[in-house]
Chain A
Amino acid sequence: MRIILYLLQKEFTQIFRNKTMLPIIFVMPLVQLLVLSFAATFEMKNIKINITDNDHSSTSRALIGKFQGSAFYTIVNYSDAYKVAEKDLKTNKADMILQLPSGFERQLLKENKAKLQITINAINGSAAGLMNAYTFSIIKDFNRNLIIETYGTEMEMPIQSSTLYWFNPELNYKTYMVPGILVLLITIIAMFVSSMNIVREKEIGTIEQINVTPIHKYQFIAGKLFPFWIIAMFELAFGLLMAKIIFSLPILGNLGVIFSVASIYILAVLGIGLFVSTISNTQQQAMFIAWFFMLVFIMMSGLFTPVESMPQWAQQFNIINPVAYFIKVMRMVLLKGSGFADILIQIVSLFIYAILALSLAVGLYRKKN
């Protein structure tokens, strides 16, 4: 035990003497929270739209007025010919084209129905889906007004639906993103920074000296991992505080639940970090390998895209993705107020994960050194 204390003293001295470490702990989380939370939103504003009105009627102008009045659209061009509009789409000047054919109003009055065309740049499929949905809702609105104007009363639809948005009633994307981004933050500390720290001793050659001392391997590993466990826990607390202040992040659940799950989660990630450091000889290698794990885990975790919309195999993959478990826990506890009983599966999974990852990594470390 005394040996571990001396190791910890040395590690903490080195970590805090390192000039890049303090910014990593304090500045990086702030920047990430601010930049990612504002940037990583699913909301679309300022959709660039080109309107091709071949009808020039009062109805077409009224419909265009709806688009002008919407905060979601910026009309970049009015053109008379569809060919011109297509050019805008090809050169990325516009994201979509709304084309109202000539005779639009006449048909509407005569036959009670008319057609218009929407052309959308669908390179980004989900963005295209959103644009379509927004446009559809504007047109639906316009339709309803037309019906009221024509028949004097609103036509009753046989089935009416009303939607209540639970847990995030204002559909605030930041509320949804911030818990996930906090997970990302502590994962970086526990995986990147810890693995690079261990590899550094290999690079400089001091590990050779450590190996001839009576320090046991488990003591060395504990001395290496524990400081980063503390720092990651601190980081989470710091991040939550910042999120509360900056984004007024709702904290419905018990913070005790969050921190107890975090303590297990960080152990699991430290296990991966130790594994990375065992299989690499230079800090560069460690960085690349950690980056690889990180990228896969985050992309699959449901941070940016919902896990439910992934193919079956990808959802299965998340069984071995600790990031996915913890993001789910964070969202459930913070936004929904879930308690231990609701997240039992995640806790047990992370617990097993931590034990497996750590024991495998420690075993491999002992074998290789």
Chain B
Amino acid sequence: MSEIVIKVKDLVKKFGNFVANDHLCFEVYKGEIFGFLGANGAGKTTAIKILCGLSKPTSGEINVAGFDAYHETEKIKKSIGYMSQKFSLYEDLTITENIRFYGGIYGLSAKEIKLRTADLLEKLNLTEAKDKLIKDLPLGWRQKLAFSVAILHQPKIVFLDEPTGGVDPITRRQFWNMIYEAAHNGITVFVTTHYMDEAEYCNRVSIMVDGKIAALDTPENLMKTFQVENMEKVFLKLARG
């Protein structure tokens, strides 16, 4: 693990008196799959929003893809991909139209869009369905497609906010294969999830409790430290305090 792509030092985010993020410190390396866990309300979404340039931190040093999260949010946005559990694709547009739209706004040329669309459709086995509206696709297909669209412009980092919510186990497995492939190609994956088996697929995992990072290590080391046999038990031990 060499190059650092996300560097967070003493990140604090306050809403009035409420401290959503309390002095977070972590680094994420290039090509890594970084699991960002925590119970609902622990402050994950707040942190992701700051990393994506959607919200300004109260204090701390934050650097994403080489850019400062205070002043260079526009540059950050160009270097990242983002996919949330909510639908990120337009339901009333077809597969091709969605790909073309997102390719276009990330500045890909018409030729590149065409090439990558063909590639992507073939890889996902969607060539025949390319003119179908998103709303007519099963949930699992949509999520796989949304992920592919999120990395269409080959970002340095891709943020996945509970990407596999509501998806069947087979599709989840396929989805994780796609994540591995992206990471193998040098895209750093920053993922939040509530499935603890998925946490075990990550290279490293951080667990947030009440706005603080309570633990950060590889899944193996975490299980060893807490002397339990799976990540679920690690999570429960930490989250219950």
Contact = CB atoms under 8 A, between A and B. Distances in A.
Nearest to A223: B105
A357 B91 CA distance: 32
A356 B101 CA distance: 32
Closest 3 CB pairs of A and B: A6-B104, A205-B86, A209-B88
B80 A212 contact: yes
Contacts of B74: 214, 216
A36 to B, nearest CB: 32
Interface residues on A, range: 20 to 34
Interface string B107-149: 1000000000000000000000000000000000000000000
A119 to B, nearest CB: 61
A206 interface: yes
Given A205-B87, A212-B53, A212-B77, A2 B104 contact: yes
A6 to B, nearest CB: 3
Contacts of A5: 104
B92 interface: yes
Interface of A: 2-3, 5-7, 9-10, 13-14, 17-18, 204-206, 208-209, 211-216
Contacts of A6: 100-101, 104-105
A340 to B, nearest CB: 40
Interface of B: 52-54, 74, 77-78, 80, 82, 84, 86-93, 97, 100-102, 104-107, 159
Contacts of B97: 10, 13
A214 B84 CA distance: 17
A211 B105 contact: no
A9 B101 contact: yes
A80 to B, nearest CB: 71
B82 A212 contact: yes
Contacts of B82: 209, 212
A196 to B, nearest CB: 14
Contact of A204 (B53, B54, B87, B104): B87
Query: Which of B54, B78, B90, B93 counts the most A-chain CB atoms under 10 A from its CB?
Result: B90
Contacts of A2: 104, 107
B160 to A, nearest CB: 12
A128 B92 CA distance: 54
Contacts of A215: 105
A18 B87 contact: no
A7 B84 CA distance: 21
A194 to B, nearest CB: 17
11 contacts: A3-B107, A6-B100, A10-B90, A14-B92, A17-B93, A205-B86, A206-B90, A208-B86, A208-B88, A209-B84, A213-B102
B21 to A, nearest CB: 18
B227 to A, nearest CB: 39
Nearest to A206: B90
Contact of B106 (A9, A14, A206, A214): A214
A215 B102 CA distance: 10
Contact of A211 (B54, B89, B91, B100): B54
